[in-house]
Amino acid sequence: MDYLGKIVIVTGSGQGIGNCIATAYARKKASVIIAEIDEEAGLETKAAIESFGGDCLFIPTDVGSEASVKEMINRAVKRYGKIDILINNAAITTYSEHDTLFTRSIETFEHVMRVNVIGAYMCAKYCACHMPEGSSIVNILSTRAFMSEPHTEPYSASKGALAALTHSLANSLAHKVRVNAISPGWIDNSGWKKKKDRKFTTLAEKDHLQHLTGRVGKPEDIANAVLYLTSEAAGFITGANLVIDGGMTVKMIYAE
C-alpha cells in the first residue's frame, strides 16, 4: 500500500491511536495533516514524522468548533489542493469517579456529543467537496458503542451515534467517497502519548487472557486496518464497521 501523493487528515493525531495512524500514513509516503487541539502533542507528532523524512502539517484544531474545522480544512486544501482521506479519530471521554449518571451535567453530555459526533459530521461535510472520486473516510468508534460499563453514557452514546453516521454518510457520498468505521476494543496506547504523559502500562496475564488472540491490542493493530480500509484493496467496502478487539466482545466471561 503506497500512499505517495495522497493527502490525509487525521483528527486527534497528537496522541494515542491517532498519533499511530498519522505516523503510519507518513511512513507510507502520504502527506499528513495533524489536526489536534493539544499544541504540545501536535508539535511532538510533527517532529517525530519529520525525523524520518515524512511530510506533514500541524494545524491546531478543535473539532467541536465549526470555525476551527473550516479553518483546518481550508489550510489543508490551500497547502495541498485536495483531501484524499479523512480519519475522524478525535474524541473525548468523561470517565472519573466523580462523573456519574447522577452527578454529570447535561452540558457535559452535550459537549461529548458535539466533539465526538458533530465534530466528525462537520469534518466529513466540509472535506467532502475537496475529495476526489475514490477517496475514503474512516470513523474511529469503539466497542463501547455496543457494550458498556456503568456511567459511560456520553462516550457510549456518541460512539453509537457515530456508527449510524457512518452508514448514513456512505449513502450520501456513494459513488465518490467510501465511508467505513473501525471499533477498537482494549488498546494499550500508553506508548503513543506525548512525552510528559508517556508511562508504559503494566498489563497482567489475566488482561491478555480476556482476548481470544491472547493479548491486549496495540495502536498498530488499528493503524494497519485503517491503511487497508483506505486502500484500493478495500474498494468494494463501504458502510462497514470493523470490530478490532482480539475477540473480546465475542467471548463469554463468567464471574469467578
Q: Let me know if 4 is exposed, middle or buried by CB neighbors in 10 A (0-12, 13-18, 19+).
A: exposed
Decide if 188 contacts 216 (C-beta within 8 A). yes
Q: What's the pLDDT at 227?
A: 98
Is position 155 annotated as part of the catalytic site?
yes
> Does 141 reside within a domain?
yes
Q: Flag whether 256 is in a domain.
A: no
The whole-angstrom separation of Cα 34 and Cα 15 is: 10
State the pTM of this model: 0.95
pLDDT of residue 256: 63
What is the pLDDT, as a whole number, of residue 209? 83
Task: Find cell 467541536 and name the residue.
Answer: 64
Predicted confidence (pLDDT) at residue 221 exceeds the cutoff of 70:
yes
**What is the structure's pLDDT at 198?**
79
Confidence bin at 247 (pLDDT 50/70/90): very high
Residue 135 lies in a domain: yes
Task: Domain of residue 129: give its range.
Answer: 7-250
Full DSSP string of 152-198: -HHHHHHHHHHHHHHHHHHHHTTTTEEEEEEEE-SB--GGGS-GGG-
Q: Domain tally for the chain? A: 1
Instruction: Indicate whether 147 belongs to any domain.
Output: yes
Band of the pLDDT at 237, cuts 50, 70, 90?
very high
How does the average pLDDT of the chain come out, rounded?
A: 95
Q: Would you say residue 188 lies in a domain?
A: yes
Picking from 122, 106, 141, the residue whose alpha carbon sits closest to that of residue 65 is: 122
Question: Distance (Å, rounded) from C-alpha 78 to C-alpha 46?
Answer: 19
The stretch 107-126 carries a mean pLDDT of 98
Instruction: For residue 246, report the phi and psi dihedrals to the nearest 5 degrees.
Output: 65, 20
Domain with residue 236: its CATH number is 3.40.50.720
2 occurs within a structural domain: no
Confirm whether 1 is domain-assigned: no
Q: What is the pLDDT of residue 95?
A: 79
Catalytic residue among 25, 95, 155, 254: 155
Higher pLDDT, 137 or 186: 137
Enter the C-alpha cell of residue 18: 491517532
